[in-house]
Amino acid sequence: MDGPEFFDQGDLVSVLTTQPLGRALDYRAPEGGCHRGAFVEVPLGPRKVLGVVWGAGQGDYDLSKIRAVIRVLDAAPMREEMRSFLARAAAYTLTPMPAMLRLATRAPGLGDPPSMRRVYRRGLSEPERMTDARRRVLATLQEYGDLSFTLKELAEQAGVTPSVVKGLVGQGAVAEEDSPRDLPFPRLDPELPGKALTDDQAAGAEVLAEAVRSQSYGTTLLRGVTGSGKTEVYLEAVAATLRAGRQALVLLPEIALTEQFLHRVEERFGAKPAEWHSGATMTERRRIWRMVGQGQAQLVIGARSALFLPFQSLGLIVVDEEHDTSYKQEDGVLYHARDMAVLRASICGAQVVLASATPSLETWANVEAGKYRRLDLTSRFGPAVMPQMGAIDMRDEGLRSDRWVSPTLQAEVNKRLEKGEQAMLFINRRGYAPVTLCRACGHQIGCDHCDARMVEHRFLKRLICHQCGESKPMPEVCPSCEAVDRLAPVGPGVERLGEEAAALWPDARVAVLSSDMYGSARALKAEIAGIAAGAADIIIGTQLVAKGHNFPNLTLVGVIDADLGLMGSDLRAAERTFQLMRQVAGRAGRAEAPGAALLQTYQPDHPVIRAILAGDEEAFWSAEAKERHQAGVPPYGRMAGIILSGPDVAQVFDAGNLLAQRDAPLRRIGAQVFGPAPAPIARVRGRHRVRLLVKAEKSAPLQEALAQWVAQVKLKGELRLAVDIDPQSFY
């Protein structure tokens, strides 16, 4: 970017705001002037809004009407590198800049001065009379040393009422003082001894450390089965980054952000890192945002949106479980965190580590093309080996249509229970039953707002639409024919499987793990920790158990329906099934006892099932790559989805047809348009949805052509258009 770096008072500056306007607006620099990149408050109509000084003003607006910037906020100006990242991410995802800026300013009170809060420390005197409650307060302060608590935090931690603390303050045993709210994060020490690495691990760690020291961009795929020590290895890359005086970011799928993980980081570096996720309090978000910007948070562990934090000197981004589907943001700004991590790193000269046991085909293809380096960790750490994989051919099991655990699987579970080991039954479906059918008239209960069936959640005693979240109580009579007592569940969900397990193994402790069954992420994590420590014999779970948890005593995983993922029309169906099955299987046999994974399937000869059973990843990936190559689909071709939606079905289709006809901008780059067609879920929240799919060659300048093409639709009334570059889901 060009233009001056500083603007004197009265100079014309162009300010990008977070308001949905077509362009940045001109203002006059305030008293004292301002830097390019400064966070400012500007008047917009009657309001004051947040903005960033983007450059020199354009001067194409009536000069007499231009207003002045109200004030420059007390925050480090946005760096050139960040502005360039936002601009390029916006161009790639076809997102308006104000929406990008909103992503980069997701912390409250950015402009407020660092306010003070009252904190409590150990005082100099002893209390006149010691009570149990008083002892607990002093012990808490002792235990946490220099850490300062607010009154509420201290009372809670010690399990006393605030008045006990106040009493101690009165006697000088506890000191009360004011300290700034946004405290820097404690220093992390990369020199603390890490674990003694195996040869394999040490070699990988050295390659990454060397790359980090180069202070230049590069991406490495770190591949190894679950338990091979990928985390240990990339923590060494973090150590190298800290030694170089730069900052590191570790991205995890939201659910993998566990205490267990934070504890490992703390053990390695002697202090807790900053933790950025949806559960973080507003105060904490603000603190992290500011400290990251001042270089006083060296390591951030976070969910995908942490990519948009204003790092001062970012040297490393780790994307753990890089294949995880939750890295694609599916509403608002549609971006893929893995791709954005690579973009950001390439702009600021940082290294990227993509860690996975089952990398995405995208990453695989980039390795093949020589764009990414590849490191393999070959075996599990310690005595554990990969589980034995086997199929249960369901055609031979003679199972009743309302039962899902085959006799073979049941017998295998029995063996584990006798030995005091844990078994897991996996089904990737939340709720009790996916369909509720009236046995009198055949009616299936659907959502009033979507073209989707309502899923019974017996635990919550409701029917829930998994598309829009709409829920209603289970009806007493059929909503169509009003027959009484004829509504019946069809098909299994995780809750129903739990019921079957409880009946099959009445003496076993059965735990059902599904994200919707716990009030909070914290409660869920606590439950998982308890189960890992032995609080259950049989674990029934959905996808979330496949992600990064340690169950040391688990030796058998039974996959109830291995065919489930293969039925979709999604181009990644095979890839997803392969990854999910491998991940689930990887849960078994982490410690000393060897594990086994059994897949119940009606198609044991399906190529994907066979590749899973053979454990032959390279063969699977080559076959999958060949098919996608031939079809010209990602990662060997480019795709974009267009979703048009609105309350009026005719209007939505008219807009879709218009786009399909006026495809000249796309034809110029050799791209093809498919559709309009009703989206697989043709109605969500009462809005009709129509989609078009654009396919182009890998090298085609797709974004420009798309922008010209969609600009032909005038978005009147409630008609909406969303462009999804590299779509991951097709609903």
Residues in touch with ligand ADP (CB under 6 A): 195-198, 201, 224, 226-232, 381
Residue placing its CB nearer to ligand ADP in the complex, 36 or 230: 230
Residue placing its CB nearer to ligand ADP in the complex, 201 or 577: 201
Query: Cis omega before residue 676 (within 30°)?
Result: yes
Task: Find the shortest distance in angstroms from Cβ 681 to Zn ion.
Answer: 9
- Cα atoms found within 13 Å of the Cα of residue 306, Cβ hemisphere only: 31
DSSP one-letter string for 521-556? HHHHHHHHHHIIIII-SEEEE-GGGGSS---TTEEE
Task: Provide the binding-site residues for Zn ion, judged by CB under 5 A.
Answer: 447, 449-450, 465, 467-468, 470
Task: Find the shortest distance in angstroms from Cβ 332 to Zn ion.
Answer: 19
Residue 45's SS3 state is: coil
- Exposure string for 435-464, b = 16+ CB within 10 A, e = fewer: bbbbebeebebbbebbbbbbbbbbbeebbb
Q: Which residue has 């912390």 as its token pair? A: 107
Helix, strand, coil % over all residues of the chain, rounded to 5: 35, 25, 40
Residue placing its CB nearer to ligand ADP in the complex, 124 or 196: 196
Encoded amino acid at 272, one letter: K
Cα of 153 vs its chain's centroid, Å: 29
Residue 366's SS3 state is: helix
Task: Find the shortest distance in angstroms from Cβ 189 to ligand ADP.
Answer: 19
Task: Find the shortest distance in angstroms from Cβ 729 to Zn ion.
Answer: 16
Task: Find the shortest distance in angstroms from Cβ 564 to Zn ion.
Answer: 21
Residue placing its CB nearer to Zn ion in the complex, 285 or 466: 466
Residue 229's binding partner among ligand ADP, Zn ion, none (Cβ under 5 to 8 angstroms by kind) is ligand ADP
Residue 687's SS3 state is: strand
First to last CA, the chain: 39
- Rounded alpha-carbon distances, angstroms, from residue 542 to 328, 353, 556, 559, 581: 20, 28, 16, 10, 12
Task: Find the shortest distance in angstroms from Cβ 441 to ligand ADP.
Answer: 51
Residue 276's SS3 state is: strand
Residue placing its CB nearer to ligand ADP in the complex, 263 or 461: 263
Residue placing its CB nearer to ligand ADP in the complex, 196 or 411: 196
Task: Find the shortest distance in angstroms from Cβ 218 to ligand ADP.
Answer: 21
Residue placing its CB nearer to ligand ADP in the complex, 90 or 233: 233
Residue 465's binding partner among ligand ADP, Zn ion, none (Cβ under 5 to 8 angstroms by kind) is Zn ion
**Which among 170, 163, 162, 159 is positioned nearest to 132, based on CA atoms?**
159
Residue 468's binding partner among Zn ion, ligand ADP, none (Cβ under 5 to 8 angstroms by kind) is Zn ion
**Which among 80, 84, 81, 86 is positioned nearest to 102, based on CA atoms?**
86
DSSP one-letter string for 121-179? EE-SSPPSS--HHHHHHHHHHHHTTT--B-HHHHHHHHT--HHHHHHHHHTTSEEEEEE
Residue placing its CB nearer to ligand ADP in the complex, 229 or 491: 229
Residue placing its CB nearer to Zn ion in the complex, 246 or 453: 453
Structure token pair of residue 662: 């006026």
Residue placing its CB nearer to ligand ADP in the complex, 45 or 193: 193
Residue 226's binding partner among Zn ion, ligand ADP, none (Cβ under 5 to 8 angstroms by kind) is ligand ADP
Structure token pair of residue 495: 């809750």
Task: Find the shortest distance in angstroms from Cβ 180 to ligand ADP.
Answer: 36
